[in-house]
Amino acid sequence: MALSKRQRAKVFRGAQYALLVVIAALIAVVADWEAIRKSFFDVETAKEMFPEVITTALVNTVVYTALGFAVGLVAGLVLALMKLSSVGPYRWIATIYIEFFRGVPALLVFVALSVAVPLAFGLKFDIYSTAAIALGVVGAAYIAETIRAGIKAVPKGQLEAARSLGMSQGRTTVTVVIPQAFRIILPPLTNELIMLTKDSSLISIIGLIATQRELTKYGREVLSQSPTVTPLLIAGLCYLIITLPLGYLSRWMETRGAGGSRSKKVSSPESKGLGVSA
């Protein structure tokens, strides 16, 4: 007897659940749980990491990310306005910058700032300046596209209404367009912040003193003195302490509309598969 479309869907769904159960059973039988516990969940190693993993590594990760995001936000706004400018050279410069820094690995930017720039120009940045500039330079390329999309998503009627009241183009942009654009792009901007949080781990390639270590650097140093990989697991969990609330906040703002429900939705470059990568 031929099955109906609904019955076939039900059988297919049941087969998927059965496959999942079989795979889980195989893993449960084959895995060496004692070895896994010793490797990933060594309680003594985890205890030794606290409270320094929080008070130093996690705090430094947040500081580096905040500095980079602040620089990226300001630079991204300038680049977005340049790309929307009616003056050709401004658009060309912004386009070249955005395409270049979206196309090169973020790791190269960190290496350039820590090695190439000091050799070429005799400039030497401290660790906080390096983190702020490197993360800001890369983040600005993505944030600029997000802001530009937000500005273009502001209804033209808002601009026309402001201009009809006698406001200049500049004042309309600053007091009407940009505030509305930022309300629209709050969710994708939160995603940019998450990407920068993860990219802050690249600062670990630069020589850091004990008080400057971020999560990845701290986890690697403890790992070198430990027979288990528990330090990496603890470091990863600390990243989740930052990124999971931000991810939920972004989805909550998208759900609530955060200014975008009545306008076009704006996606971040990362959501289109163009995320920052080392």
Residue ranges per structural domain of the chain: 35-256
Q: What is the mean pLDDT of residues 238-260?
A: 81
Q: What is the mean pLDDT of residues 6-15?
A: 90
The pLDDT value given to residue 277: 41
3-state secondary structure of 80: helix
Contact 180, 154 (CB under 8 A): yes
Please check the confidence at residue 263 and state whether its pLDDT lies above 50: no
What is the identity of the amino acid at 21? V
Question: Mean pLDDT over all residues of the chain?
Answer: 84
- What is the spatial distance between Cα 247 and Cα 146, in angstroms, rounded to a whole number? 17
- What is the spatial distance between Cα 145 and Cα 270, in angstroms, rounded to a whole number? 11
The pLDDT value given to residue 68: 93
Tokens at 28, concatenated? 């449960």
Tokens at 77, concatenated? 């706004």
Contact 221, 212 (CB under 8 A): no
3-state secondary structure of 265: coil
- What is the spatial distance between Cα 174 and Cα 181, in angstroms, rounded to a whole number? 10
Model pTM score: 0.81
Please check the confidence at residue 276 and state whether its pLDDT lies above 70: no
Cα torsion angle, 50, 51, 56, 61, sign: positive
The pLDDT value given to residue 224: 86
- What is the spatial distance between Cα 108 and Cα 90, in angstroms, rounded to a whole number? 25
CATH topology of domain 35-256: MetI-like fold (1.10.3720)
**pLDDT interval class at 264 (50, 70, 90):** low
What is the identity of the amino acid at 259? G
Please check the confidence at residue 174 and state whether its pLDDT lies above 90: no
Least confident of 27-36, 75-84, 91-100, 188-197: 27-36
The pLDDT value given to residue 272: 46
Q: Label residues 17-45 b or e (16+ Cβ within 10 Å = b).
A: eeeeeeeeeeeeeeeeeeeeeeeeebeeb
Contact 82, 91 (CB under 8 A): yes
Q: What is the mean pLDDT of residues 125-144?
A: 90
Q: What is the mean pLDDT of residues 131-158?
A: 90
- What is the spatial distance between Cα 227 and Cα 163, in angstroms, rounded to a whole number? 68
- What is the spatial distance between Cα 70 and Cα 235, in angstroms, rounded to a whole number? 24
